[in-house]
């Protein structure tokens, strides 16, 4: 799974790309957490899921883990552009009440 | 009547998860599934196979067996392992229940299988293994005149 990030207007944008499952999630966690730790001066984080072609419930665990990390740093976290299938899982899990969708 | 049948057996390696869900998705293409239905099947299979890797065999190597049958417009899927089994199935299938909360597990695997598929059932015997049965009914194809 590819994880890339950039900072613009005090916002850390993290883009995930590939298939999110049990196999790929550990690498995504490590890369994502490093991006967060390297950019502590931002005021919010937006995770872009547009290029995530597949996601199972591992994705929910992954996002809750990043939410907990961001919360400890007092940084609000948002999700943007999940595809139809990812959106179905995220809705089912109720995760949007913790991590709102950003446009 | 069963008109097509597939049996897959593979090691419970995490890297086989993508292969397993893609193989089942490819198998059901003859039913002309919508993209949404295909994605439901892939996700449900991914959840069942992940359970084998993570819970049934707990990271040890074991055999996962997937059997698929096409009957009319339905796809029947059976995912079985010979791992440690589930002590309390009723509890295990509750949304957000996880036996491994420290590992960032959502506890939504069985809920997703149940929600995304039309029929869902789990049989488990402790020390012997678990079998998950799932059925997806696809809409009959409409012939264009």
| Residue percentage of chain A with pLDDT more than 90 | 99
Cβ-Cβ contacts under 8 Å for A28 (sequence gap 6 or more): A1, A3, A16, A20, A62
Tokens encoding B122: 């789990």
ipTM: 0.91
pTM of the shown model: 0.93
Q: Which of A22, A55, A85 sits opposite B54 (nearest CB)?
A: A22
Check CB contact under 8 Å for A92 and B17.
Answer: no
What is the DSSP-derived secondary structure letter of residue B59? Answer: T
| Residue percentage of chain A with pLDDT more than 70 | 100
- Multiple choice CATH, B2-137, 3.90.740.10, 3.40.1170.60, 3.20.20.70, 3.30.565.10: 3.30.565.10
Question: Is the pLDDT assigned to residue B32 strictly greater than 80?
Answer: yes
Check CB contact under 8 Å for B112 and A56.
Answer: yes
Predicted local confidence at residue B139, as pLDDT: 85
Q: What is the pLDDT of residues A34-73, one digit of tens each?
A: 999 999 999 999 999 999 999 999 999 999 999 999 999 9
Q: What is the pLDDT of residues B118-140, one digit of tens each?
A: 999 999 999 999 999 999 999 87
Give me the residues of B, 44-83, that contact A with CB < 8 A: 46-47, 50, 53-54
What are the residue boundaries of the structural domains of chain B, listed by start?
2-137
């Amino acid at each position: 799974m590819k994880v890339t990030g950039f900072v613009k207007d005090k916002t850390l944008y993290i883009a995930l790309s590939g298939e999110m499952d049990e196999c790929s999630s550990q690498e995504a966690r490590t890369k994502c957490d490093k991006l967060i730790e390297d950019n502590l001066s931002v005021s919010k984080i937006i995770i872009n899921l547009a290029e995530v072609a597949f996601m199972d419930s591992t994705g929910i665990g992954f996002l809750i883990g990043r939410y907990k990390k961001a919360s400890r740093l007092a940084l609000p976290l948002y999700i943007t552009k999940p595809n139809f299938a990812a959106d179905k899982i995220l809705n089912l899990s109720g995760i949007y009440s913790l991590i709102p969708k950003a446009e | 009547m069963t008109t097509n049948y597939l049996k897959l057996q593979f090691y419970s390696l995490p890297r086989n998860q993508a292969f397993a869900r893609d193989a089942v998705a490819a198998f059901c293409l003859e039913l002309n599934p919508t993209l949404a239905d295909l994605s439901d099947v892939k996700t449900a299979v991914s959840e069942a196979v992940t359970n084998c890797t993570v819970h049934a065999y707990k990271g040890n190597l074991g055999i996962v067996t997937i059997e698929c049958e096409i009957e009319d417009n339905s796809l029947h899927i059976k995912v079985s392992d010979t791992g440690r089994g589930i002590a309390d199935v009723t509890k295990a299938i509750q949304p957000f229940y996880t036996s491994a909360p420290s590992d960032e597990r959502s506890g939504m695997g069985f809920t997703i299988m149940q929600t995304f598929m039309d029929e869902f059932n789990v049989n488990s015997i402790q020390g012997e293994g678990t079998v998950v049965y799932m059925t997806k009914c696809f809409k009959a194809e409409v012939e264009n005149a």
